[in-house]
Amino acid sequence: MSFEAIEEASREPICLIPPNEARVDVVFNHLNKSAADNLLFLFTNSRATTYAPGESGPALKSLLKDISEKPPNVDIKYSKSTIYCFDSEAFRFVVAAAPPNRLSFSDDCKRDYENSWRRGVGECERLFKHIISLPPHKVRDTLSLNTAIQNINLLTKPLADIAKNIADNQNELQIHKSRMEVFKGDIEQLRKHLYIPTVDIETAPLDMPKTVCGDKECCTMREINGVTKTHYKSDCHSPCYLEYDDGNIMGNKGLLDCIAFNNYVDIGQPAYYDPAELSPDMKVTEGSLNSDGKILAVPSQRIISEMCFVCGHCYQSHLHINYETSIKKTKIRDNKKYRRINNAVEAAKVKQQHIWELEAKIVELAVETEIISKSMARFACFLKENALTPFNDAFGDYVRYLIKNEKTNASQTTGADKDESGNTAEKLELLLDAYNRQRQVFKDVMDDNVSKRVSISIDEIDNSIGELCHLKWNGNKIEELLECERNTRVKNHEIQMEVSHELPEGATLFNKIKKYIIEQN
């Protein structure tokens, strides 16, 4: 979906679904709401289900009902005019029967394949007639929407983490400002206090993504460089490459496909299977490919649980992470100030200027927090307005999780640390309130202008991302985290899509390669 003539090449979004694939919801997370009227459902390999949707049918109907009943309440037609069932057996028969293969088949087999062929031709004719009757869908709209959604999802966790970091910095600045206001020391002591305290986030991309538990029983609070930080002590699955991501940070439904939430029970004896006969729920023995090209596998039943088989907590308490962060406290000094202090008058002047600098940075950080909350509110309304599936408030949920962590920190510490955690929690609550208010403002504007078709454009989303990446104090860090998320997603996708093939010892090609290696050595 990336070549130039895409609008001419793709008129209709077509979902190709195996008839016994119960997990079909992932398809709709990549579609624009405008695609709803043009969706067609093609069920492949359907001869085994007598040319019917099979297990995918009920799962799909349930999902479409869910999409219709929940905001944004999109109705997707699911009827004979949008359902098409195919099978490729007839094509395989033609290839097998034609030269040079010339395989022979019984009359019963031939009749089955002829029936499959006629059925497929009829479905194709019906499909093309229906496509011609529909207005073309602008695929570029869906592509642009997907790009915007991807950027928003990549930014959600970094922006929440940076918002917390801003609150930590404001706490440090306020504490230092209070010290400066009551400072009574001499010039030499004053020089030691002329610094801007900074709490930096340092990012370390993981070699491999993992699923961790965020429940308080699976977390410990560690003080690092004077800042209390949540440490996830339970790696429930590592490495963990999710095939599906609903955009949530906490409670991502894609985690239900993670090994930590799946168990397999054997329901048969080990046997060798043709690779084409393998099902996703079979346990395959690595390195078991025999000389006939068959693989040793055990039929098994998949048990999916919302409770983790490793730690016992619900998937909604779990996170899938690509990077880890650490905190570094630094003191930024301006050596030029030291040279201007020669007497008490100059000392008083420098002290006041320093207090003003601290106040100015506190205000500037507050402005950046406001920009973050407004941007995320805009992003949330954009997703809710355009997405086909129900909206997930990933940012709000994650900020609430951070607030809960800070309150836990405050309850487990004393003195200044307790006050800092409490102040950070209060600032995050203010951020959440501002975010919810901004969301309501955007929603009201869009509702009031619904007849004028006023909505948030993709250009506005791009401009908001640009504004975030150019913030004075946190722009570089936002850009760094966004790039980190992009790179890790690309890397993880490449690893996930890798396919390894093992040749049996008796394979001709294997022997040739082995002989070549021996000769070279």
Average pLDDT over residues 187-211: 91
Residue 295 located in a structural domain: no
Q: Are residues 335 and 371 part of one domain?
A: yes
Q: What is the pLDDT of residue 7?
A: 42
Q: What is the mean pLDDT of the chain?
A: 84
According to DSSP H, which parts of 268-343 are helical? Answer: 335-338
Residue 138 or residue 46, greater confidence: 46
Residue 211 located in a structural domain: yes
Q: Are residues 358 and 339 part of one domain?
A: yes
Q: What is the pLDDT of residues 364-381, one digit of tens each?
A: 999 999 999 999 999 999
Average pLDDT over residues 51-57: 83
The last residue of one of the domains, among 121, 137, 153, is 137
What confidence category does residue 327 fall into, taking pLDDT thresholds of 50, 70 and 90? confident
Q: What is the pLDDT of residue 410?
A: 81
The last residue of one of the domains, among 70, 104, 137, is 137
SS3 letters for 116-170?
HHHHHHHHHHHHHHHHHHCCCCCHHHHHHHHHHHHHHHHHHHHHHHHHHHHHHHH
Q: What is the pLDDT of residue 320?
A: 92
Angstrom distance (rounded) from CA 318 to CA 308: 9
Q: Are residues 209 and 191 part of one domain?
A: yes
Query: What token pair was written down for 22?
Result: 């119960």
Average pLDDT over residues 421-428: 89
CA distances from 84 to 28, 37, 381, 479 (A): 18, 16, 35, 45
Q: Is the pLDDT of residue 318 over 90?
A: yes
Listed range (36-50, 409-423, 457-471) with the worst mean pLDDT = 409-423
Q: Are residues 188 and 88 part of one domain?
A: no
Q: Is the pLDDT of residue 138 over 60?
A: yes
Residue 292 DSSP symbol? T
Listed range (14-28, 234-248, 327-341, 460-474) with the worst mean pLDDT = 14-28
* DSSP calls for 393-415: -HHHHHHHHHHHHHHHHHHH--H
What confidence category does residue 392 fall into, taking pLDDT thresholds of 50, 70 and 90? confident
Count of the separate structural domains present in the chain: 2
Q: What is the pLDDT of residue 22?
A: 47
Q: What burial class does residue 230 get, using C-beta atoms within 10 Å of its C-beta: 0-12 exposed, 13-18 middle, 19+ buried?
A: middle
Residue 415 located in a structural domain: yes
Residue 305 located in a structural domain: no
Angstrom distance (rounded) from CA 478 to CA 368: 12
Q: Are residues 153 and 113 part of one domain?
A: no
What confidence category does residue 179 fall into, taking pLDDT thresholds of 50, 70 and 90? very high
Q: Are residues 181 and 103 part of one domain?
A: no
Average pLDDT over residues 263-288: 80
* Cβ pair 475, 400 in contact under 8 A: no
| 301 DSSP β-pair partners | 265
Q: Are residues 184 and 61 part of one domain?
A: no
Residue 339 located in a structural domain: yes
Q: Which of 151-155, 263-267, 506-510 has the highest mean pLDDT?
A: 151-155
Q: Are residues 197 and 116 part of one domain?
A: no
Q: What is the pLDDT of residue 104?
A: 84
Burial 19-48, CB ≥16 within 10 A → b, else e:
bbbebbbebbbbbbbbbbebbbbbbbbbbe
Q: What is the pLDDT of residue 342?
A: 87
Q: Are residues 148 and 127 part of one domain?
A: no
Q: What is the pLDDT of residue 504?
A: 55
Listed range (30-34, 149-153, 171-175, 428-432) with the worst mean pLDDT = 30-34
Backbone angles phi, psi at 70, to 5 degrees: -110, 150
Residue 284 located in a structural domain: no
Residue 334 located in a structural domain: yes
Q: Are residues 62 and 167 part of one domain?
A: no
% the chain with pLDDT above 90: 39
| Structural domain that includes position 74 | 6-137
Q: Is the pLDDT of residue 165 over 70?
A: yes
* Cβ pair 162, 287 in contact under 8 A: no
CA distances from 166 to 129, 363, 365 (A): 58, 11, 6
Q: For residue 320, which of 212, 158, 482, 161 has the smallest C-alpha distance? A: 212
Q: Is the pLDDT of residue 517 over 50?
A: yes
Q: What is the pLDDT of residues 329-362, one digit of tens each?
A: 999 998 776 677 889 999 999 999 999 999 999 9
Q: What is the pLDDT of residue 1?
A: 40
Q: Is the pLDDT of residue 505 over 60?
A: no
Q: Is the pLDDT of residue 457 over 80?
A: yes
Q: Are residues 220 and 317 part of one domain?
A: yes
Q: Are residues 125 and 246 part of one domain?
A: no
Q: What is the pLDDT of residues 19-28, one digit of tens each?
A: 555 456 666 7
Q: What is the pLDDT of residue 5?
A: 39
Residue 285 DSSP symbol? P
Angstrom distance (rounded) from CA 340 to CA 364: 26
Residue 505 located in a structural domain: no
